[in-house]
Amino acid sequence: MVGAGCLGRQAFVLLACDGRLAFASELKSFFAHPRFHPEIDPVALTSYLQYGYVRAPLSIWQGVSQVLPGEWLCLAADGTLTRHRYWDVLTHFQQGERERATWLARPAAELEAELTAHLQEAFRLRLVADVPVGMFLSGGTDSSLVAALLQEQSTLPLKTFTIGFADARDEAPTARAIAQHLGTDHAELYCTEAEAQGIVPLLPEIYDEPLADSSVIPTVLLARWVRSQVTVALSADGGDEQFYGYPRYTRLAQALRYPPALRWGWQPPAWVWSVWSRRVNLREKYAKLQAIWQQDSRPAQYDITVRHLLDPELAALGRSPTPAAIANPDLETPHFMAWQDIEGFLAGDILPKVDRATMHVALEGREPFLDRVLVEYTSRLPPEFKYPNGQSKYRLRQILRSRLPLSLLQPGKVGFGAPIAAWLRGPLQPLCREYLDPVRLRREGWFCPETVQRWQEDFNTGRSQDGQKLWTLLVFQLWQERWCRR
């Protein structure tokens, strides 16, 4: 039998033709198996292009699949492989829907105190260690809350770490102010662009399945530096999914409120594109809005919202779209989106991003927000309590109000980001020219060279602001060179 944790490290399984089962937490391990024949799965490649990561249970290699969170697999004597879920966050969302009236009958202050107690216990448990422990402090709501609750329970200053770029907007100054207010033992690392860009060629080795999240760059840099200071590092992933922190939670609702005339295919005149497209990426955003409007189900609307590449873009690349088979349980829309984000984006992008970066430098990463008891509790809480009037992370900020001054709770979400669009137009351009060269693309056969060339020209001349498409392709090309030419 093979199993995966409720919310944690990825696991992969290889079912060999002789009926034997191999499993590993990293795909590169299978290269030691004599029956492993690395062939890219075209469906998995399309999944990567659609979402920026390969959605479970697929993996980038044919014959290898991911074990879902909370799943165990059983290989019978006759070679039959069966999958079983022993834990599923959907169960707790559904339980919360059934108990909704009971929850809403309780005073908000009582629920908030109960939530705070759950958070304190979950966070406290992640400090238990016989080696030095620190935490990543981005300056956002989630990591600030972890630091605040841990520091007030500790007699010693908590070690906090943040990273910034000298010439880019980030949250390092805010993180410093929060650390000073809380009294943590804070340290900062400011990276040069050259240091950050030097990570790019290393990504295929660290991430042996392509991952198009550009924040992997500062995450790797941060993990490498923090490992020189401590052995265990706490992160604050999972707060966005549990407390509706992503902009898409409000954007999807707003998109469906637009006047019918826009949904009937109205196109802004040319002068609108020329005036605004350089500033707000209007053309790409409007294309996504129209794609959302054309969907007649909530799962399909959500799927378009989280896409990197839409169906017309995939078709232009020469790839056949593969719509995700998303169930549509009877959940409130915020709960539905949170459930999908936990099963998809969190498990397939956020957690592998941090896990691979920390494992690469022998740093143990821990996720306080993903304590099983805490997740089960927050999943049952009604949206009206967590998300009143569409206010994201309302309850977390309420808990922070007595622990941080209001001025430090106001900044918008930035996080550990990287100015990837500026780099693609500048120092990373030679890399794009090399790996997205039309002759090379035609020889490899995965992408239409003419389409990629047009995307590069549009981006470099400013007709498009969408650098994510090029970054997604570049990451795959780098990964392919490392793992497909052995």
Element (H, E) at 390: none
Instruction: State mean pLDDT over 308-329.
Output: 89
Q: Give the count of alpha carbons within 13 A of 421, CB side only.
A: 13
83 and 109, same domain (yes or no): no
Distance separating alpha carbons of residues 256 and 337, to the nearest angstrom: 15
216 and 200, same domain (yes or no): yes
Domain's final residue, options 87, 114, 141: 87
* pLDDT for position 267: 57
Contacts with 39 (C-beta within 8 Å, 6 or more apart), sequence order: 61, 62, 63
The alpha-carbon radius of gyration of the chain (Å, integer) is 23
Asked if 19 and 278 count as a contact pair (C-beta separation under 8 A), the reply is no
226 and 107, same domain (yes or no): yes
Contacts with 230 (C-beta within 8 Å, 6 or more apart), sequence order: 131, 132, 133, 134, 159, 363
pLDDT at 376 over 70: yes
Instruction: State mean pLDDT over 273-298.
Output: 70
Residue 144 identity:
S
**211 domain residue, yes or no:** yes
The 3-state DSSP class for residue 15 equals strand
46 and 174, same domain (yes or no): no
From the list 65, 63, 61, 198, the residue with the least C-alpha distance to 480 is 61
The end-to-end CA distance of the chain, in Å, is: 31
pLDDT at 328 over 80: yes
Ramachandran region, residue 139 (left: φ > 0; alpha: ψ -120 to 50; beta: rest) = left
193 and 161, same domain (yes or no): yes
Asked if 314 and 322 count as a contact pair (C-beta separation under 8 A), the reply is no
Instruction: State mean pLDDT over 179-200.
Output: 92
**416 domain residue, yes or no:** no
Asked if 3 and 72 count as a contact pair (C-beta separation under 8 A), the reply is yes
Strands 64-66 and 21-24: unpaired
Tell me the percentage of the chain whose pLDDT exceeds 90.
Answer: 66
HEC profile for 84-129? EECCCHHHHHHHHHHCHHHHHCCCHHHHHHHHHHHHHHHHHHCCCC
Domain's final residue, options 408, 437, 464: 408
**335 domain residue, yes or no:** yes
* pLDDT for position 271: 45
What CATH number did the domain enclosing 207 receive? Answer: 3.40.50.620
121 and 209, same domain (yes or no): yes
**164 domain residue, yes or no:** yes
Angle between helices 333-341 and 248-255 (to 10 degrees): 130
From residue 431, alpha-carbon distances to 426, 437, 477, 478 in Å are 10, 10, 10, 9
| String of DSSP letters for 316-376 | HHT-----------S--HHHHHHHHHIIIIIIIIIHHHHHHHHHHTT-EEE-GGG-HHHHH
**325 domain residue, yes or no:** no
pLDDT at 171 over 60: yes
Q: For 38-96, write each residue's pLDDT tens digit.
A: 999 999 999 999 999 999 999 999 999 999 989 999 888 888 889 999 999 999 999 99
**14 domain residue, yes or no:** yes
**298 domain residue, yes or no:** no
Domain's final residue, options 67, 87, 107: 87
Say if residue 368 is preceded by a cis peptide, omega within 30 of 0. Answer: no
From the list 456, 459, 479, 436, the residue with the least C-alpha distance to 200 is 479
Model confidence at 416, pLDDT cuts 50, 70, 90, reads low
Highest mean pLDDT among 77-81, 283-287, 409-413: 77-81
Asked if 308 and 52 count as a contact pair (C-beta separation under 8 A), the reply is yes
The 8-class DSSP code of residue 234 comes to E
Distance separating alpha carbons of residues 282 and 278, to the nearest angstrom: 8
Model confidence at 282, pLDDT cuts 50, 70, 90, reads low
Q: For 138-158, write each residue's pLDDT tens digit.
A: 889 999 999 999 999 998 999
**291 domain residue, yes or no:** no
Count: domains in the chain = 3
Query: Taking all residues of the chain, what is their mean pLDDT, rounded to a whole number?
Result: 89
Distance separating alpha carbons of residues 147 and 39, to the nearest angstrom: 44
60 and 132, same domain (yes or no): no
Distance separating alpha carbons of residues 398 and 138, to the nearest angstrom: 19
**Structural domain for 7, as ranges:** 2-87
83 and 195, same domain (yes or no): no
29 and 13, same domain (yes or no): yes
The 3-state DSSP class for residue 64 equals strand
pLDDT at 16 over 70: no
Asked if 10 and 352 count as a contact pair (C-beta separation under 8 A), the reply is yes
Instruction: State mean pLDDT over 224-230.
Output: 96
Instruction: State mean pLDDT over 197-207.
Output: 95
More confident residue, 249 or 186: 186
Tokens at residue 360, please?
Answer: 């690469």
Model confidence at 414, pLDDT cuts 50, 70, 90, reads low
* pLDDT for position 273: 45
Highest mean pLDDT among 113-127, 236-250, 412-426: 113-127
pLDDT at 393 over 60: yes
Element (H, E) at 295: none
14 and 151, same domain (yes or no): no
| String of DSSP letters for 356-372 | HHHHHTT-EEE-GGG-H
223 and 237, same domain (yes or no): yes
* pLDDT for position 272: 47
40 and 61, same domain (yes or no): yes
Model confidence at 265, pLDDT cuts 50, 70, 90, reads low
